[in-house]
């Protein structure tokens, strides 16, 4: 059923060092899975329908490894504080509202519409601690056809009364119910264990979440080593942990037994990095957020050179835009400031590397996702870069590069496919 | 003739510390000049036509103190090098093409259309060293109704044969002709003396340009202390100058006798800063460019605290976007990284400060421009922020803040006025 051909100018990553660009080529989708890219349509596919996007860029759907759906409402507001102050002043009061399902319905409709209109096909999403609102969010994401992991957030300490669960036990019971209600409910939407971060979770809660993850085979998302004040606080809260990551790892929330994605990793020390590497933990690099809340710049070059699992996160609303094109540009930009201001031994990122992170790098969290190699799930977006006029000849790679920098400024997204289904057309 | 009233939600800066927001108010334009903002229409203006932009944001037109028109063609390309290498690899070869008037016409049409569609009403523009192409650019800018200073660039050393003038004398003669041909030609478009930067100009050329500036009362634009390698090179080239700024100042190109705007000022030392302050030199802070070509982060807090003349520049194509909304966000963001990575004594910028820089701060280079106070030239833009849906109540200041962060992402610009004339409507 989901078999067709896209004709266009095709761009994808083979790996972080190899960006493939093929002009005027044919990308085959066979039963929702990539069958490869060809100069001519192979005879065995001659009967498939062709979606003709000639002259447009065709690239894998973008993967957002870290985004807070309830924070979408106040993206672009309150960018005047550091992380912990920012959470207390903006994030927690806003998230408290999601106990009200009318508000949640309104806000999550806006969020889902924005994701639908974006180039994102896969995302790891934080909800709030409210189970019902989070399930409502999952309904809406399922409806727009993207594939997502969505977490009911856990928090049982160090947050206001309006945004704190009564106890570790009630938090765990509610999470188990959340898992049972959602694990088999959707085709494209899955639950994920989501401790907010160590400061919000007692050891008892963290331990219980590790057990739920193992029992139900549910992956994990959370925050790690984002801000110096946060890291120092975790040290106080968990004196038994030699680093922040160990506070998760001890309870089975750090890539083993189930996969895990950690947002930020700006201040991870060598031991924490070694453990992430050993456990195959995914890093969600969130450059806009790390800039906006003055956290710093993550040492991404180091992670890439160590061949760690790494992708990009928009981290709305620490980041102010859900666009993964913006996230790619932000990653390029902060890597240049890191080189200039922090360590001139760390070469800035290049376009191929950020494109890899936004597609195949992050996509690996979802399986064979984020590339057009044979056997990959068929996620694709079509960008009409003719909306970006230019007087000179450009190669396909140059067109891709400027589209990354500029396509966020125009309504360039023409079509989006996820798992072999066309889920958006402009 | 140019007398009318705009109704809307009005935002403007009184000074860098005072952002004024007035909901559902009336902004009076009387003969192209602001007559103030009122809660009700005063009787004496009762007969003026009302442009009803109720529910939309009305703010001063944006001022771009530094942009390279010929580089617009390759914005978002080649962001992988430091300044001097970037100039040789990308900027100079592209600018060489503007000897071809067909190419220039095509490229400058694209540029002018982009400026027309932007929120910018005032700009300081670099052309190329080609006089004819630069005059063509001026024609196009005049046609779109914005007010601009446009410079034929001067370069007589350290650049490729294809982009170097034959001698200081020919460069000066061509510049004098350029001044004579354009000084009285347009209503809204003016010539400006534009030595590219010290490495491109012999002392003889710089000296002659200072004389032309004085003789014809023409202001000056150029680059200053952008990159460490550039600063070191200027020291070699002008051993007689105690700092980069003195290499301009000695020849009368540094704010006296005519006003001058210097792009970047990332590495200005205390003496250079003191001279800028003394001479009233304008600083064009170009955060995107300083990031993209890895120059660093300018100490803007210091300039603001010293009450220096300062505005923002997009610096296309060091910066990849002509949007001054983007420039404001970039300025906010890099100030937070400056605080984190360089000097925690320098408080990050806030929204009121970057809005001031993008309007009244930069506007001062053009006279009484960039505010809605009585007597200011009437430049305004109307932003429909209803395109940015939200579930919660927002104050007008919050609406402004999120529009700065997000309005670059949508087609939110509804109307643009310059000198009391409506020059664009969407």
Residue pLDDT, tens place only, B208-244: 999 999 999 999 999 999 999 999 999 999 999 999 9
**B347 lies in the same domain as B401:** no
- What is the tens place of the pLDDT at every residue in B93-151? 999 999 999 999 999 999 999 999 999 999 999 999 999 999 999 999 999 999 999 99
Q: Which residue of A has its CA nearest to B70?
A: A391
Q: Considering only CA atoms, which of A313, A223, A305 is closest in space to residue A268?
A: A223
**A360 lies in the same domain as A374:** no
- What is the tens place of the pLDDT at every residue in B135-161? 999 999 999 999 999 999 999 999 999
Q: What is the number of structural domains in chain B? A: 2
Q: Tell me, what CATH number does B54's domain have? A: 2.30.40.10
In the prediction, which pLDDT does A407 show? 83
In the prediction, which pLDDT does A79 show? 86
Alpha carbons B24 and B8: distance in angstroms, whole number: 5
Return the percentage of chain A with pLDDT > 70, whole number.
99
Alpha carbons B263 and B315: distance in angstroms, whole number: 8
pLDDT of B297 > 70? The answer is: yes
Q: What is the dihedral of CA B254, B259, B260, B266, to 10 degrees?
A: 80
Q: Among residues A366, A391, A416, which one ends one of the domains?
A: A366
pLDDT of B82 > 70? The answer is: yes
Residue B296, chain A, CB below 8 Å: the answer is yes
Identify which of B348, B390, B402 has the shortest CB distance to residue A294.
B348
Contact B97 A392 (CB under 8 A): yes
pLDDT of B1 > 70? The answer is: no
**Average pLDDT of span A221-235:** 98
Q: Among residues B347, B366, B385, which one ends one of the domains?
A: B366
**B242 lies in the same domain as B350:** yes
Alpha carbons A210 and A195: distance in angstroms, whole number: 10
In the prediction, which pLDDT does A176 show? 98
Q: Tell me, what CATH number does A133's domain have? A: 3.20.20.140
Contact B110 A294 (CB under 8 A): no
- Structural contact between residues A138 and A184, judged by C-beta atoms closer than 8 angstroms: no
Q: Among residues B366, B397, B417, which one ends one of the domains?
A: B366
**B401 lies in the same domain as B351:** no
End-to-end CA distance of chain A: 23
- Shortest Cα distance, chain A CAs vs residue B109, angstroms: 9
Alpha carbons A268 and A274: distance in angstroms, whole number: 10
Question: Residue A215 class from Cβ within 10 Å (0-12 exposed, 13-18 middle, 19+ buried)?
Answer: exposed
**Beta-sheet strands, E only, within A132-195:** 147-151, 153-154, 189-191, 194-195
**B104 lies in the same domain as B220:** yes
- Give B40's contacts (C-beta < 8 A, 6+ positions apart): B26
Alpha carbons B129 and A95: distance in angstroms, whole number: 56
Q: What is the mean pLDDT of chain B?
A: 97
pLDDT of B189 > 90? The answer is: yes
Domain that residue B30 falls in:
4-60+370-425
Residue B74, chain A, CB below 8 Å: the answer is yes
**A309 lies in the same domain as A377:** no
**Average pLDDT of span A378-404:** 96
Report DSSP letters for B310-369, one per residue.
EEE---BTTBS---HHHHHHHHHHHHHHHHHHT-TTSPPP-HHHHHHIIIIIHHGGGSS-
Strand partners, B27: B6, B37
**Average pLDDT of span A330-339:** 98
**A320 lies in the same domain as A337:** yes
In the prediction, which pLDDT does B408 show? 75
In the prediction, which pLDDT does B314 show? 98
**A193 lies in the same domain as A147:** yes
- Shortest Cα distance, chain A CAs vs residue B255, angstroms: 30
Instruction: Provide the CB-side half-sphere exposure for A400 (13 A, CA).
Output: 27
**Average pLDDT of span A121-145:** 98
**B214 lies in the same domain as B269:** yes
In B118-147, the residues whose Cβ lies within 8 Å of chain A are none
- What is the tens place of the pLDDT at every residue in B344-356? 999 999 999 999 9
Question: Residue B289: phi, psi to the nearest 5?
Answer: -65, -45
* Mutation to test the A interface, candidates B333, B339, B355, B398, most A Cβ within 10 Å: B333
**B48 lies in the same domain as B94:** no
**Average pLDDT of span A358-373:** 98
In B82-111, the residues whose Cβ lies within 8 Å of chain A are 94, 97, 103, 106-107, 110
In the prediction, which pLDDT does A1 show? 66
Strand partners, A75: none
From chain B, pick out residues whose CB is under 8 angstroms from the CB of A295.
Answer: 340
Alpha carbons B90 and B241: distance in angstroms, whole number: 29
From chain A, pick out residues whose CB is under 8 angstroms from the CB of B321.
Answer: 405-406, 409
SS3 B423: strand
DSSP code of A347? P
Contact B296 A333 (CB under 8 A): no
Q: What is the dihedral of CA A36, A40, A43, A45, to 10 degrees?
A: 50
- Structural contact between residues B152 and B130, judged by C-beta atoms closer than 8 angstroms: yes
**Beta-sheet strands, E only, within A184-281:** 189-191, 194-195, 220-224, 260-264
- What is the tens place of the pLDDT at every residue in A2-38? 999 999 999 999 999 999 999 999 999 999 999 999 9
pLDDT of B392 > 80? The answer is: yes
Q: Which residue of A has its CA nearest to B392?
A: A73
Residue B292, chain A, CB below 8 Å: the answer is yes
**A162 lies in the same domain as A120:** yes
In the prediction, which pLDDT does A81 show? 87
- Structural contact between residues B413 and B119, judged by C-beta atoms closer than 8 angstroms: yes
Q: Which residue of B has its CA nearest to A76?
A: B402
**A381 lies in the same domain as A232:** no
Angle between helices A131-144 and A168-182 in degrees, nearest 10: 30
What ipTM goes with this model? 0.97
SS3 A398: helix
């Amino acid at each position: 059923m989901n078999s067709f051909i896209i004709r266009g100018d095709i761009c994808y990553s083979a790996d972080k060092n190899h960006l493939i660009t093929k002009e005027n080529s044919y990308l085959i989708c066979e039963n929702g899975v990539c069958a490869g890219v060809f100069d001519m349509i192979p005879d065995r596919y001659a009967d498939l329908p062709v979606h003709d996007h000639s002259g447009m860029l065709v690239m894998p759907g973008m993967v957002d490894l870290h985004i807070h759906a309830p924070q979408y409402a106040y993206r672009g507001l309150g960018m005047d504080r550091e992380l912990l102050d920012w959470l207390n002043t903006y994030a927690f009061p806003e998230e408290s509202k999601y106990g009200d399902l009318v508000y949640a319905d309104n806000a999550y409709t806006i969020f889902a519409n924005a994701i639908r209109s974006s180039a994102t096909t896969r995302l790891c999403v934080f909800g709030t601690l409210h189970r019902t609102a989070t399930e409502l969010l999952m309904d809406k994401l399922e409806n727009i056809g993207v594939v997502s992991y969505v977490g009911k957030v856990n928090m049982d300490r160090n947050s206001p009364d309006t945004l704190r669960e009564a106890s570790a036990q009630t938090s765990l019971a509610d999470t188990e119910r959340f898992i049972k209600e959602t694990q088999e409910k959707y085709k494209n939407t899955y639950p994920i264990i989501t401790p907010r971060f160590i400061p919000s979770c007692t050891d008892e809660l963290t331990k219980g979440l590790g057990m739920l993850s193992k029992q139900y085979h549910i992956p994990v998302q959370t925050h790690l080593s984002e801000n110096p004040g946060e890291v120092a606080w975790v040290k106080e809260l968990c004196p038994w942990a030699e680093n922040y990551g160990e506070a998760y790892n001890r309870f089975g929330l750090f890539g083993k037994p189930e996969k895990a994605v950690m947002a930020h990793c700006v201040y991870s020390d060598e031991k924490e990095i070694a453990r992430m590497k050993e456990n195959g933990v995914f890093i969600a690099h969130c450059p806009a957020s790390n800039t906006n809340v003055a956290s710093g710049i993550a040492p991404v070059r180091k992670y890439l050179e160590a061949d760690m699992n790494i992708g990009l996160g928009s981290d709305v609303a620490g980041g102010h835009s859900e666009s993964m094109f913006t996230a790619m540009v932000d990653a390029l930009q902060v890597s240049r400031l890191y080189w200039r201001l922090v360590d001139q031994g760390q070469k800035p990122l290049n376009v191929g590397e950020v494109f890899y992170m936004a597609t195949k790098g992050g996509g690996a969290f979802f399986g064979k996702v984020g590339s057009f190699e044979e056997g990959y799930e068929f996620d694709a977006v079509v960008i009409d870069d003719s909306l970006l006029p230019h007087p000179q000849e450009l190669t396909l790679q140059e067109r891709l590069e400027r589209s990354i920098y500029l396509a966020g400024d125009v309504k360039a997204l023409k079509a989006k496919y996820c798992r072999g289904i066309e889920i958006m057309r402009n």
